[in-house]
Chain A
């Protein structure tokens, strides 16, 4: 019963999305008052219908209804309950439904919070959201229906891919999709403004909170994915330049550029056309990511099963979004001419131009590396891959430049900065960062290097200058208002400081980690990074849907036992082997053991690692997202009146 109800709800949602698109876009054009009044209710009922459909699929999973094909392929009665919930989005069809649910959620939120905007503009935004929903619901219904029955049912279900059976996976895809899909709101705002032919500081102020929200979710999603990869998939690696990782990273880079260029558009009325383009591209890159993941054109651990029709469909959606957006832009660009006035060579505007250029070039480089194997295959029939060294070589120099500017930019005035003032403001942060980095270099004299000192100096430069700028603003604020500094300023400080923390983690963990691949039999031991790893014992284990072996390691430092680690090598019901790492979290470093396959009687292969500061990477990501939350809480986004000019 539930699958049929879900199917019906999804068909209903399709019709409601169509209504939402027509009411929102055609309503203002034909001037039908009754039609226009339908746009908001259509968005809400569409959300309700999609939620019912999603609930039905979840119900089929929780009850392990094997007559539903998608459930039979991805669930098993023996699976723990949590994974029956998260299994809903463990494969293509269900994760697409999650995507649609989140899209409908954003659509409903826009319908709710857009009442203070000019009516026609708000309706157009809702209409564009409806159009996007329409495209995706049709995709689900016609090309990847999760509710199809398969009779007779198989005797027992397959299993969710074991590497996806992890608590963090409850969090990772929803967060990522909140980000991906959230950029559809910025996209809809840009399209609606271009249809109306008016884009001003007020427009930027309306768009900023939505963009910030999408950005902070995407930041959290990428952080969670990287962390998951570290302990579950990566054997200690946390970023692989895998095509699917890149697919989530590219919208993040452009989205980051967008939240900065929106600041200029809001404060100075400048960069309007550019901001609109970034909004179009941020969402287009989200769609491109969807295409890469779901078409199966790229070889990746994350990729879903292959169906060429799906690829073509998403490609068509992508073409409509990019083509339509750019055509509209070409047609309307002249109306968006800058009114913001000029700015000097040294000015905040210039700094944000630098930020945008670096981020967009970085994104283009990642795009080239990600898509080149595709083009090569199509053009020559041969096969190749672009290795991580390419990405590192291009990305790291660009980011180094970026990090230098992160420290500078907030201290430069709008319009016309002053070199001397800038020097005065940043001299101390610079000196402090340098001295601390040299101290770090001296402490790690054995394993360290000039690269380490430079990297640490860069990370500290970002952190210290962010704090110094905040301190300066607090001191210079009128007495009594000192702690009521705008939340946007606090948000920026947290986000930039978080970037510094992440850079520190990346630099130190990449340069100072030690690891050893080795084979051990019980009783043997190995020395890594100042610790003695003793392989004490191996025992057989049986879980709800797997069997395997567990190694027991005692880790000693100077003869003292500091940790007991229990890595596992599992074989799941359907025969897929996995490795479960075991990690001891020390304040400054992780002790990490992963267990590989047996290499002889009572002998297994292991990877033993000591990774200093590695958790700073994800902690930095969380700080950045928290900065986004603070900026989002700025009261000026809730102000009633929406005047024409900037503040």
Chain B
């Protein structure tokens, strides 16, 4: 078994592009669900809006990349408004239903044959739309060490990505510790009480939905840029639920939990996969039990098992406070 390779792959994944994408998606959800109590089950939709805004603007309309980011943010604000205006006055579960449906509508529209020439249909859009971004890369030779390795492009995405994660996390910290954040947390507890104290609950919920959505669309930018392609089926509901997993893993309503949650999530997936792959190839696991082709599915089973154990023995997540969780029972 090649342990060095396992370490290299695992480390690369733990701080890699996917971790950044999931951390950002989960930071957005943390704003929605963790702090405001909004059940957004359509975070994948916000990522799709971000990713497609960039790819379509550049590839189909020839708009400069950096302007396409602004378009992406604008689009995600519009998406949040469309979701929020009819549902935020209603009970929380309505938002859940509407968001999960809206995210699916976006994916179905993106993969429909009707808009094939603009959105690329089920194949999505591949190309060089990230060229302007990668042209700025000062580390074109990449990173090559025995325990960690990134290609030039990946290294640039990872560096810029972590800077963005750090900035957004800092801003989140400032926001949730302000009186504004206090109103959000109060809304999460009981919005009627907050109304009775003279706060415009609807406005705060809308602000929260927009901010979390914009952060989600930034995750979409990273997703699209890192692969220089967008594919509709990457933005299915599974993405939303993985982002929730990341958030719960770290512990909801904690600023750092999306980051640590995403790291653990990708560490586990890649570590389990690489270990299994190595063990099967080396013959430690007999072929009749697990074949090389089955490793991909089995890692998710083991991942699920690991998450179950975590939720049983540490239901509050890594950063959560068990005392606080008990309070939720409305004793």
State yes or no: do A and B come from one complex. Answer: no
